[in-house]
A and B are shown apart, each in its own frame.
Chain A
Amino acid sequence: MNGASSYSGLVDRAFIFILGTSILLLIAVTAVMIFFIVRYRRSKNPNPAQIEGSTTLETIWTVLPTILVLVMFYYGWAGFKVMRDIPDGAMQVTVKAQMWSWLFEYENGKQSAELIVPTGRPVALNLTSSDVIHSFFVPAFRLKEDCMPGRTNHAWFESIRDGEYDLLCAEYCGDLHSAMLSKVVSVPADSFDAWLGLDAGPPTGRQLLTLRGCVACHTLDGKDLVGPSFKGVFGKTETVVLPDGTERQVTIDEEYLRRAILEPKAEIVKGYKDQMPEQRDLVTDEEVDALIKFIKGLQ
Chain B
Amino acid sequence: MAAPSSVAAFGTTGSYLDTFPGRRGLWGWLTTVDHKKIGLMYAAAMFTFFLVGMALGFLIRLELLQPGTQFIGPKTYNSVFTLHGVIMIFLFIVPGIPAILGNFILPLQLGAEDVAFPRLNLLSWYVYMVGAVMALASLFISGGPIDTGWTFYAPYAVNTQTNVSWAVLAAFVLGFSSILTGMNFITTIHRLRAPGMGFFGMPLFCWGLYATSWIQIIATPVVGITLVLLFLERTLGIGFFDPSRGGDPILYQHLFWIYSHPVVYVMILPAMGIISEILPTFARRTIFGYKAIAMSSMAIAVVGYLVWGHHMFTVGMSDTARWIFSILTFFVAVPTGVKVFNWMATLYRGSIEVRVPLLYALGWVFLFSIGGLTGLANGALATDIHIHDTAYIVGHFHYTMFGGAVIGMFAGLHFWFPKIYGRMYDEKRATWAWGLIMVGFNTLYFPMLILGIMGMPRRYQDYLPQFSFWHMVSTIGSWILVAGILLMFFNLLRAIRHGKIAGDNPWGATTLEWKTSSPPPLLNFAQAPVVTTGPYDFTEILAKGHDPEAKSL
Contact = CB atoms under 8 A, between A and B. Distances in A.
B9 to A, nearest CB: 39
Given A53-B289, A137-B455, A178-B74, A76 B380 contact: yes
Contact of B381 (A15, A23, A33, A76): A76
B288 A29 contact: no
Most buried by A among B289, B315, B352, B366: B352
A80 B381 CA distance: 6
Given A18-B380, A150-B244, A41 B156 contact: no
Interface in A1-58: 1, 10-11, 14-15, 18-19, 21-23, 25-26, 29-30, 32-33, 36-37, 40-43, 45-54, 57-58
A45 B385 contact: no
B453 to A, nearest CB: 8
A37 B340 contact: no
Interface stretch (B168-176, B300-308, B369-377, B407-415): B369-377
B2 interface: no
Given A30-B366, A50-B538, A69 B376 contact: yes
A47 B351 contact: yes
A182 to B, nearest CB: 12
Given A42-B353, A61-B338, A69 B319 contact: no
Most buried by A among B319, B333, B383, B542: B383
Give chain B's interface secondary structure class: helix
A194 B257 CA distance: 47
B326 interface: yes
Contact of A170 (B327, B388, B464): B388
B362 interface: yes
B383 A77 contact: no
Given A48-B350, A142-B385, A273 B457 contact: no
Contacts of A75: 380, 382
Interface stretch (A101-109, A128-136, A185-193, A249-257): A128-136
A296 B289 CA distance: 78
Contacts of B334: 62, 65-66, 69
Contact of B344 (A14, A19, A33, A176): A33
Contacts of A84: 319
Nearest to B377: A18
Contact of A61 (B75, B337, B386): B337
B380 A36 contact: no
A151 B316 contact: yes
Given A11-B383, A142-B386, A151-B243, A42 B351 contact: yes
A148 B377 contact: no
Contact of B379 (A43, A73, A142, A148): A73
Contacts of A73: 326-327, 330, 379-380
A83 B385 contact: yes
Interface of B: 74-75, 78, 147-149, 153, 155-156, 159-161, 243-244, 248-250, 283-286, 288-292, 314-316, 319, 322-323, 326-327, 330-331, 333-334, 337-338, 340-342, 344-345, 347-354, 362, 365-366, 369-370, 373-374, 376-377, 379-386, 388-390, 453-455, 457-464, 538, 542, 546, 550, 552
Given A26-B369, A36-B352, 12 more contacts: A37-B352, A40-B351, A49-B285, A53-B290, A61-B338, A72-B379, A76-B382, A79-B381, A132-B153, A154-B316, A169-B457, A274-B161
Closest 4 CB pairs of A and B: A150-B243, A76-B380, A139-B455, A79-B382
24 contacts: A19-B377, A30-B369, A33-B347, A36-B352, A37-B354, A37-B362, A40-B348, A43-B552, A49-B285, A51-B349, A54-B345, A57-B345, A69-B331, A69-B376, A75-B382, A79-B381, A80-B382, A83-B382, A131-B155, A149-B155, A150-B244, A172-B458, A174-B147, A275-B159
